[in-house]
Amino acid sequence: MRRRVVVTGIGCVTPMGADVETMWRRLLAGESGVGYISIFDASGFPTKIAAEVRGWDISQAGENPEDWKYQGRHTRFAVGAAKQAMADSGLDLQRLAPTRLGVYTGCGEGQQDFNRFTEMMVAALDGHKDKLDLTKFIHKGLETLHPIAELEQEPHMPAGHLAALFNAQGPNVNCLTACAASSQAIGEAVEIIRRGEADVMLSGGAHTMIHPFGVTGFNLLTAISTRNDEPTRASRPFDRDRDGFVLGEGASMLILESLDGAQARGAKIYGEIVGYGSTADAFRITDTHPEGRGAIACMKMAVDDAGLKPDDVDYINAHGTSTTVNDKVETLAIKRVFGERAYKIPVSSTKSMMGHLIAAAGATELIVCLLAIRDNVVPPTTNYENPDPECDLDYVPNVAREHRCDVALSNSFGFGGQNISLLARRFSG
């Protein structure tokens, strides 16, 4: 018999706030974390806007910034979110065998040192505009790049740091499946506890792609909005005039725990993770399947895994990126899974306010689902102004809504065709 898994701690560092309650308050108020890029000079880029984490550094997590100066921005976000989640859980790590505590993250690559790469390139060109001296490029790199800083760009580094921080000697894994990464990490962490291979898992995601290479790549893919004159109105999921997503950054972490362990120590419980679906489109790397076959199968799998029926779902936090194809196909997939009841389920995209946190998006949105269950209120999809005939569901336009929410579904779909759905339920014994 598989063990039940509950959430006993949550934490986040996001463009909408560097703690859970601030983020939640701002989401319900329909505020925006999108603005002009300040991390680097984006004046020459087609896209000049993003949802940055502003006014936060790792000292606010009780850490000495000097000790983390070579670690990636994603790692620092992960530490901040994880320390919040661990404190929130009330776990006494002295009473937990280290091998029964694991870490499963969905973290992307760190932020490249673009300024040093530029310095290397200038030295290698040596006054020539059309010929790169590769030897000079390599030697300049050996002179200027710091070995630890280069290592810390790797996507699995946050998981290693979190294990050391909490003496977590159990399973330690990082999943990198693009926008589905942290949702998949949570789903797999749930399975580890269900199988009895760990009692507690710290799981979630961290990422930033707000750097020149990231923005350039998404501009080449024509995936991100160029509505530079209206930053706060640029992310508009399901709206007829959407033109791409807005890059965000940050981290969200959850403490997943076996129900028997949580009850034995009298822990507060945010909710139970009852369903996990994971599928692939097996189609194109950058395009979702036009009939939504992977998304449909994924949502059905999560509902079946929970032992529930589609009619039991009260709220859907959509992947809802604000891209033309994704929003249309996700709408179609929801209708195929839920039938006529799809029109009665509130569906919202919090990416409309905080942008797309890429690998960290799914964990953040699962926290939103847990808070919707806790407070019986669902956040809005902001900037929804002009209905799209192909997107005709109830997207909770612009204003949060009181709504009884016992079961919430979180969707995450990533480049490469990965699809993850997580189902959270109110805990009732």
Q: What is the CATH number of the domain that holds 180?
A: 3.40.47.10
Do 104 and 126 share a domain, yes or no? Answer: no
In a domain, 400, yes or no: yes
Do 108 and 121 share a domain, yes or no? Answer: no
Q: For the chain, 429 residues long, give each residue's pLDDT as a single digit of tens.
A: 799 999 999 999 999 999 999 999 999 999 999 999 999 899 999 999 999 999 999 999 999 999 998 888 999 999 999 999 999 999 999 999 999 999 999 998 876 655 565 655 566 666 666 666 767 766 666 666 666 776 777 889 999 999 999 999 999 999 999 999 999 999 999 999 999 999 999 999 999 999 988 999 999 999 999 999 999 999 999 999 999 999 999 999 999 999 999 999 999 999 999 999 999 999 887 778 889 999 999 999 999 999 999 999 999 999 999 999 999 999 999 999 999 999 999 999 999 999 999 999 999 999 999 999 999 999 999 999 999 999 999 999 999 999 999 999 999 998 888 999 999 999 987
Cα–Cα distance for residue pair 73/79, rounded to 1 Å:
10
CA distances from 412 to 261, 346, 366, 373, 421 (A): 29, 17, 10, 19, 6
Do 324 and 371 share a domain, yes or no? Answer: yes
Cα–Cα distance for residue pair 330/318, rounded to 1 Å:
8
Element (H, E) at 86: helix 73-89
In the prediction, which pLDDT does 198 show? Answer: 98
CA distances from 186 to 173, 219, 220 (A): 11, 30, 31
CA distances from 258 to 58, 107, 200, 267 (A): 30, 24, 7, 11
In a domain, 201, yes or no: yes
HEC readout, 172-227:
EEECCCHHHHHHHHHHHHHHHHHCCCCCEEEEEEEEECCCHHHHHHHHHCCCECCC
| 27 touches 367 (CB < 8 A) | no
Do 80 and 128 share a domain, yes or no? Answer: no
The residue type of 268 is K
Number of folded domains that form the chain: 2
Residues forming a β-bridge with 12 = 252
Q: Which residue among the candidates 107, 319, 369, 391 is catalytic per the annotation?
A: 319
Q: pTM of whole model > 0.85?
A: yes
128 is catalytic: no
Domain assignment of residue 120, given as a range: 114-148
Task: State phi, psi for 288 to the nearest 5 degrees.
Answer: -70, 155
Task: State phi, psi for 425 to the nearest 5 degrees.
Answer: -130, 145
In a domain, 3, yes or no: no
Among left, alpha and beta (phi > 0; psi -120 to 50; other), residue 400 is beta
User: How many other C-beta atoms lie within 10 A of the C-beta of residue 130?
Assistant: 5
In a domain, 329, yes or no: yes
Do 173 and 261 share a domain, yes or no? Answer: yes
Instruction: Give the closest residue to 351 by CA, choosing from 376, 386, 374, 382.
Output: 382
| 269 touches 380 (CB < 8 A) | no
In the prediction, which pLDDT does 123 show? Answer: 65
Do 172 and 128 share a domain, yes or no? Answer: no
Strands 401-402 and 200-208: unpaired
Cα–Cα distance for residue pair 83/64, rounded to 1 Å:
14
Task: State phi, psi for 55 to the nearest 5 degrees.
Answer: 70, 25
In a domain, 368, yes or no: yes
Cα–Cα distance for residue pair 198/282, rounded to 1 Å:
32
* CA 65 from centre of chain: 24
In a domain, 281, yes or no: yes
Do 290 and 340 share a domain, yes or no? Answer: yes
In a domain, 48, yes or no: yes
Task: Tell me the residue ranges of DSSP E strands in 215-332.
Answer: 249-258, 271-280, 315-317
Domain boundary among 101, 132, 148: 148
* HSE of 136, CA atoms in CB hemisphere, 13 A: 14
Do 96 and 232 share a domain, yes or no? Answer: yes
Do 134 and 162 share a domain, yes or no? Answer: no
356 is catalytic: yes
Q: Which residue among the candidates 179, 298, 369, 391 is catalytic per the annotation?
A: 179
Helix (H, G, I), strand (E, B) or coil at 359: helix
Domain boundary among 128, 148, 168: 148
In the prediction, which pLDDT does 109 show? Answer: 83
In the prediction, which pLDDT does 312 show? Answer: 98
Do 258 and 277 share a domain, yes or no? Answer: yes
Instruction: Give the closest residue to 364 by CA, choosing from 147, 46, 47, 53.
Output: 53
In a domain, 1, yes or no: no
In the prediction, which pLDDT does 389 show? Answer: 97
Task: State phi, psi for 346 to the nearest 5 degrees.
Answer: -65, 130
In the DSSP assignment, the letter for residue 4 is P
Do 32 and 97 share a domain, yes or no? Answer: yes
Q: Which residue among the candidates 12, 356, 369, 391 is catalytic per the annotation?
A: 356
Do 191 and 252 share a domain, yes or no? Answer: yes
Domain boundary among 132, 148, 164: 148
* HSE of 70, CA atoms in CB hemisphere, 13 A: 11
| 339 touches 219 (CB < 8 A) | no
